[in-house]
Chains A and B, each alone.
Chain A
Amino acid sequence: MTDTAISASGLWRRYGPTGDAGFDAVRGLDLEVGQGELFALLGTNGAGKTSTLEVLEGLAQATRGTVRVLGKDPYAERAAVRPRIGIMLQEGGFPSDLTAEETARMWAGCTSGARPVREALETVGLAERAHVRVGQLSGGERRRLDLALALLGRPQVLFLDEPTTGMDAEARRATWQVVRDLLGQGTTVLLTTHYLEEAEALADRLAIMHKGRIAVSGTPKSVTAQGPSHIRFRLPEDIARWQLPAALGARGVGDDVRIETYDLQGALTGLLLWARDHRVQLTGLDARTASLEEAFLAIAGDSRYDDAAAEVAAR
């Protein structure tokens, strides 16, 4: 059994007054992240990711529910928790007239057990840019500086809110490697990201948030399996759409046929057997298995998940 690094149960976060004027950004969220694990929190804009993260980081108080980070309340016991965690905000700034190194030195002076500033800058590949002012750094470089500061205190738990936004592909891969190295050293990471491939590449477990609740969670593989698979092909001119087996639930426009299925093998078998029996040539046949993106889009666009949330809210 691994020890729990981060846990939340029944977490609610409300903005504004009670009644219709207010807004529940997080609605009864349960979450558990084991030590040394990377947990990715996904969701569309406004799903409540950052609102959740702010509570876990101890930057905001939960309206209801319990939150523990390394066994302590990150808001009420922030003095005990902060030295052991690192935070990279989605949007945080540094004075533009300080150099990268001066910024890191300032941060090191405010960080318990800080590692050498040079080492931190090297870790994120900014050593050559140490004497460049923050205002002259590119957006991606600024994100890397931000990451360097989050790592400065050798945190046991690291919160990364969209860490690679604004980075080019190379810097993104390099950042992934930094995160993997940290995981290798036993750091626990809670990550939010817009890049699903990032979550697939790094996460031990992930959750997709929708309207303030976790709609699906599990390993990337198990969550992916919950999304639909797709089949696509072009129908020959002499075959009409109604001639297709009804069970396939074919959609699409004109001769372009699209099938969405949760049983790819079964649907494909049915289709291919039908095609053989009717001597139909399926041009451009394309079958793709479920992806995390499909699972994500299915949740974001599916009102079933809204109902589930409303049900819980009513209870």
Chain B
Amino acid sequence: MSTTTRTTHPTHPTPAHDAGAGTARRTTSAGRMAALARAEVTLLIRNRTALFTALGMPPVMIVSARTTLDRAGIPAETGLSTAEVLLTGGIVTVLALVVYTTLVAAYVSRREELVLKRLRTGEVRDPEILGATALPAVVIALLQILLLVALGTALWDGQLPERPDLMLAGVALGTVMTAALAAATAAVTRTVESAQVTALPLLVVAFAGSGIAVPLEVFPSGVADVLRVLPLAPIVDLVRGGWVGGLDSAGTLRALGTALAWTVVSVLAVRRWFRWEPRG
């Protein structure tokens, strides 16, 4: 607390207001988002918890999944190797941990600190605020995904993904979906601390029932059909099918349709329920 700061007010030669439309140097959407994203990167670097979730958690999860898989073994009928399950599942793990978990906390924290409320008084538009806040986490996630692909390519004698277009669609839809689900989860989260609880259901669903670690083929077909409708399951299908193949056209359409539906639903949920200020 410093009240000793000198409060002098040097007069600056301030140009008179341009009485006209004020068209001088209007901000652009890209410029505004860059300014916000830059601040967001600074905040991420200074927040150890968020930084660990984003950088440290994915390797930990992937390594621990490997131990589990080694012990349990992957049923032969899936036709997948341990590495194939790990690396493709790893991509969705990265989306769930880096994009989803980091962003639930970020949105809640910006809202509770009244940052969102203040930002909305300026020229920035709502989607720009949400997008810029997500940007650093998304970039980190995409870099980690690239790293996983590079690792797989090296591991499998330079064999490139079978259908890169499907993988790309999966990652793109997965990114938008997890970011939007994070914003929607933030709507029902009161504090940054409680974000650890409210984010849990989706994470549990993702890891246990989306085929990240355990391919859905392992489940009885009725159960598998239900699990396939969960948010991250089609992303796993698209990424795995795109990388190692084995996804027929019906499966592709179904995965794309489900992923798109979840993405649209989560974006609509944000538009409908996202709160920009703490509950009064």
Q: Please report A residues at the B interface, Cβ cutoff 8 Å.
A: 57, 59, 79-80, 82-84, 87, 89, 91-98, 102-103, 105-113, 115, 119, 122-126, 128-129, 138, 140-141, 144, 146, 154, 156, 168, 170-171, 174, 177-178, 181, 185-187
| C-alpha spacing A152/B109, complex, angstroms | 25
| C-alpha spacing A314/B25, complex, angstroms | 49
Residues on A with beta carbons closer than 8 Å to the beta carbon of B233? none
B16 contacts the other chain (CB 8 A): yes
Quick one: which of A80, A84, A103, A185 contacts B14, CB cutoff 8 A?
A: A185
| C-alpha spacing A146/B115, complex, angstroms | 11
Residues on B with beta carbons closer than 8 Å to the beta carbon of A185? 14, 16-17
| C-alpha spacing A105/B24, complex, angstroms | 19
Do B2 and A82 touch across chains, with their CB atoms under 8 A apart?
Answer: no
CB distance from B10 to the nearest CB of A (A): 6
Residues on A with beta carbons closer than 8 Å to the beta carbon of B12? 119, 122-123
Do B5 and A126 touch across chains, with their CB atoms under 8 A apart?
Answer: yes
Do B117 and A92 touch across chains, with their CB atoms under 8 A apart?
Answer: yes
Q: Please report B residues at the A interface, Cβ cutoff 8 Å.
A: 1-3, 5-12, 14-17, 21-22, 24-27, 31-32, 34-36, 38-39, 42-43, 46-47, 109-110, 113-115, 117-124
A-B contact count (CB 8 A): 137
Residues on A with beta carbons closer than 8 Å to the beta carbon of B24? 112-113
Residues on A with beta carbons closer than 8 Å to the beta carbon of B113? 93-96
Residues on A with beta carbons closer than 8 Å to the beta carbon of B123? 79, 82-83, 110-112
The 7 tightest CB contacts between A and B, nearest first, are A109-B35, A93-B114, A125-B7, A92-B118, A174-B7, A106-B39, A87-B121
Quick one: which of A79, A96, A109, A170 contacts B36, CB cutoff 8 A?
A: A109
Given contacts A126-B5, A154-B17, whether A95 and B26 have CB atoms under 8 Å apart is: no
Residues on A with beta carbons closer than 8 Å to the beta carbon of B47? 97
Do A112 and B14 touch across chains, with their CB atoms under 8 A apart?
Answer: no
Do B121 and A92 touch across chains, with their CB atoms under 8 A apart?
Answer: yes
| C-alpha spacing A61/B120, complex, angstroms | 14
Given contacts A138-B3, A186-B16, whether A110 and B122 have CB atoms under 8 Å apart is: yes
| C-alpha spacing A122/B46, complex, angstroms | 26
Nearest neighbor of B45 in chain A, beta-carbon distance? A97
Do A181 and B5 touch across chains, with their CB atoms under 8 A apart?
Answer: no
